[in-house]
Every structure is written in C-alpha cells, then in structure tokens.
Amino acid sequence: MSAFAHHFRVWVASARYSLTRALMFRGDFVIWSLVELFWMGVNLLLVEVIYRHTDSIAGWSRPEMLLLLGTSLLIQRLLMGFFWSGLYDLGRNVRNGHLDFFLAQPGSVMFMVSTRKLDPDGLVNSVVALGLVVYAAGELGLRPSPGQLALYALLVGCGLVIHYSVLMLSTASVFWLTSAQGVEGGYFSLIEFSRMPREAFRGAAEVIFVWLLPVVVVSNAPARVLLHGFEPAWALGLAGFAALWLGLAVIVFHRGLRRYASASS
C-alpha cells in the first residue's frame, strides 16, 4: 500500500472518530457552530457598516468586498474544520509530553499531529461562507465558467495550504518557547489582512503584507479569478507562495521536533 493510501486511511479513521464524537456531544457541536457563525456575522456586519457610509473601499464595491470576505472566511473555516484542533493541541502536547503518543504512531508525525481531529462545526460554516460567495457572485451578475470554478477551488486549496503553514509555524514555536500562547494569536492577527483588497495596501504595508507575508494574496487571488478570470501572475504567485510556505513549515516543524525531549519521568 502506498504511503499516500496509508495516510488517507488513517485520516478517514480519524475523521470517523471525530464525527462520532461530535454526535455524542451534540450540544457542544451546536454551540461551537453558532460561535463560528456569530464571528462570521461580525465580519459581515463590519463590511455592511462601512458601506453604509461609503461606496467603495480601494475601488472595490460592496458585493465585490462580500465576495472577498466570503472567500477569506471559506479558507479560514476549512482550516478550522480540518486542522485547527490538532494544531491547537500541539502546543499543549509538547508542554506536557503527550506528543509521545504521536511519535509512536505509524505515519508522518506532522501529518498525525495535524489531522488527528476534525471539527465538523468549522466544516458546516464553510458551507455558509460558500453561500456568501455565491450570494455576492449573484449580486455582481457573475457567470463563471467551469474552468474558472475549478481554478477558484484550486486557489482556495492553495490558500488553505498557506493558512495551515502559517499556523503551523506559529504553533511550532512551542518547541523553543515552551508556551505558544500569544504566538498562536499572531495567526489570527495576520488573517485580518486577508479580508482586505490588495489595492488598499501601499508603501511599507504593501511590501510586508503583500510580498513578504502571503496574507493578502491568499484570498485576493481566488476572488479575482471569479471577478476577472484567469490572471497567470496571481494564480502562479499563489501556488508558488503555497509551496514555499509549506516547505518552510515542514522544515521548522522537524527542526523543532528534534528539540522535543518528552516530559515523562
């Protein structure tokens, strides 16, 4: 059996376990789904309030901004659904030595750590985010071709890889700092930029948030596919960023892992 098939079977088993667990704690599932829905509503409300007083933000109209926001939220919800719980636990597991459990499992440690838990509430809300994208596209009268839709999905996938890598880099700091609390918050500070049009960034902000950190292109690139069709510079740029940041996350995680000394006596 190939390594890919093996890891896929492990992931399916973990996903089945997570879904069973969600069904056991239905109240929790409902509450956390509402929590994510409320926070998405907060972002939506901000856009609506600003557009009560202005017609355009950096040249983007209200429905265009909703399309961008929906795309950003979609990527973020997918991250929450597939990876957040695993990476959140990583910080705690390194501190208390429970990472030993993952080291003893038959597979890539980084894969096991990242995919151990699935959060159905995040995945449910990714459907809501997708609904926002569809609504905004309808408001704009967009009729994307199958090719555009496929490219949009591919770039959302690249965005997910970048988000995952940035979060992994933040969390892996626990190998050096002992506590990643506060540093994890850095991820949430950075994703705020993914909800803004690239044209809003000028000067030093453009250098930092567009070119050095991939936080702006991550949602702008897929949104632009629906708005303007295939733009090679944006699509290839995002794919390149995804490969670069994933590579960096893999290197940093494994360097950190070498420092792990367990905590058991």
Partner 1 sequence: MLRAAGKYRQAFLLGLQGSLVYRWNFAVRGFFSLFHLAAVFILWGAAFAGREQVGGFDLRQTLTYFTTILFLQFLISAFNEDYQISEEIRQGLINQFLLKPINYFLYRLSIFAAARLVSGALILLPLAVAYPFIHEALSFPSEPWRLAAAVPALFLSALVQFTIAYCFGLMTFWFLEIQGLVVLSMAVEAVLGGQIFPLDLLPPALHAVARFLPFYYQMYFPAAILTGRIGPTETAEGLALQASWVVLLLLLAHALWVRGLRRHTAVGG
Contacts to partner 1 by CB under 8 A: 28, 31-32, 34-35, 38-39, 41-42, 45-46, 49-50, 52-54, 56-58, 179, 181-183, 185-186, 189-190, 192-193, 196-197, 199-201, 205, 209
Nearest distance, CB of residue 216 and partner 1, angstroms: 10
Q: How far, in Å, CA of 150 to CA of 158, rounded? A: 12
Bridge partners for 60 per DSSP: 57
Nearest distance, CB of residue 82 and partner 1, angstroms: 20
Nearest distance, CB of residue 183 and partner 1, angstroms: 6
Nearer to partner 1 by Cβ, of 60 and 253: the residue is: 60
Nearer to partner 1 by Cβ, of 13 and 58: the residue is: 58
Nearer to partner 1 by Cβ, of 48 and 100: the residue is: 48
Nearer to partner 1 by Cβ, of 57 and 79: the residue is: 57
Nearer to partner 1 by Cβ, of 3 and 34: the residue is: 34
Using alpha carbons, list the distances in angstroms from residue 254 to 175, 211, 257, 259, 260.
Answer: 10, 26, 5, 9, 10
Nearest distance, CB of residue 4 and partner 1, angstroms: 36
Q: What are phi and psi of 148, to 5 degrees?
A: -65, -40
Nearer to partner 1 by Cβ, of 7 and 92: the residue is: 92
Nearest distance, CB of residue 55 and partner 1, angstroms: 10
Nearest distance, CB of residue 107 and partner 1, angstroms: 30
Q: Which amino acid is at 80?
A: M
CB 156 within 8 A of CB 73: no
